[in-house]
Structure 1
Amino acid sequence: MTISRFIASAVLLLSSAQLHAFEFKTVAPNAVILYDAPSTKGGKLFVAPRGMPVQVVLTYGDWVKVRDASGDMAWLEQRSLSAKRNVVVRNPNARVRAAADDAAPLVMTADKGVILELVDPQPSSWIRVRHRDGISGYIRMADVWGI
C-alpha cells in the first residue's frame, strides 16, 4: 500500500509540474547588474540592458533568480523588474508580418537579439509585437524567446 501511494504521489507531482506556466518579466527602467548570489556583495556577472526579457526562476526576499535567453542564470533585485512584457528575437532575419499569416505582407525583418514589445500576450503560433521605432506586426512564436 505504501508503494502505491508513493507512485500516485509521484504521478500527481509530475503532472502538476507540467501545468506550471513560466513567468517572464522585463528589466526596467534602466540597465541592471546581475549577480551570482542574492546580494550586492555577490560577484557581478554582467549588465542586463533595459527591456531585456527574463524568466523568473525563484524569488528570495527582495531578490529574484532569473534565466536569460541564452539560458544563463543570475540574481537581480526585484525592484529592477517590470511586468511589461518584451521578447527577444532568437533567429536571424525573423520576419514580422502585417497579419498572422505567412502570406501577409512583410512589415520588417528583425535580427537575432532584437528586443520587441509583446503587444498581445495571448500565445498562439503567432504573436503581435511592436519595435521601439513604432513598427508593429506579427511574428512566429518560434522566432522569439520570452513567452
Structure 2
Amino acid sequence: MSVFLISTGGLAASAQDKRGPVTNLPLPRYVSMKAAEGNVRRGPSLTHRIDWVFKRRGMPLQITAEYGNWRRVQDRDGAGGWVHYALLSGARTVLIETDMLPVYANPSSSAQISAQFESGVVARLGSCTLDWCHVSAGGHRGWTLKSNLWGVDPEEVRE
C-alpha cells in the first residue's frame, strides 16, 4: 500500500473554515424564516420547480450553500432546497427537540424551573455557553441544555 502526500502550499482548511462565495459568511450556518411562507425550489432561480413551501415564520434553517441571491437550506429533518435570501433572517431561533423541556432560571439543572416547552416549539436563541443556551418563547425565558435544541452547533458559544 502506498501513501502519497500532496502539499497544498498552506494549511488545509477545516470544514469550520468554509465560507460562502457570496456573503463570505461561514457554511454551514443557521438562520430563520423571515416570511410566513417561502417557496423551496429545486435549483437557485425562479425557473426551477417549487418542491414545497415552508409555512412557519421563525423556523430555524441551516444554510448549506449560496448562489447569487439564493441559499440552499435544510430543516431539522434534512428537507430543503433553494430559497431566495429575502425570505431569510439572521435572527437565530431553535427548535425544541424534547417534550416538556425544563427551562431554568440559571444555567444549572439545580436552578428553579421557570417554564417547560413542548417539543416542536420554535424559540428565540440568546446567549450560549458550551453546554447551555438561553431561550425564549411565548413570554417565557430561561436556560436549557444545548443538546435539547436544533439550530445551534454543539461547540457554538454566543454572548
TM-score band (shorter)?
0.7 to 0.9
Distance change (3 Å), C-alpha of 1:25 and 1:106: same
CA RMSD of aligned residues (A): 2.0
Corresponding position of 2:92: 85
How far has the Cα of 1:93 moved from its partner?
2.1
- Work out whether 1:98 is the aligned partner of 2:105: yes
Q: Structure 2: any 5+ residue segments left out of the alignment?
A: 19-25, 153-159
TM-score normalised according to structure 1 size: 0.83
Q: Is the 8 A contact 1:34 1:44 kept in 2?
A: yes
1:49 paired residue among 44, 56, 66? 56
How far has the Cα of 1:40 moved from its partner?
3.0
Q: Deviations over 1:30-61 (max 9, x none)?
A: 32122222233313323241001111101111
1:142 paired residue among 134, 140, 147? 147
Matched residue SS, 2:86? helix
Letter of the 2:146 counterpart = M
Corresponding pairs, count = 139
How far has the Cα of 1:26 moved from its partner?
0.8
User: How many percent identity over aligned positions?
Assistant: 25
Q: Deviations over 1:51-94 (max 9, x none)?
A: 01111101111110011111222111001111111011122222
Letter of the 1:72 counterpart = A
2:14 paired residue among 5, 13, 16? 16
Matched residue SS, 1:119? strand
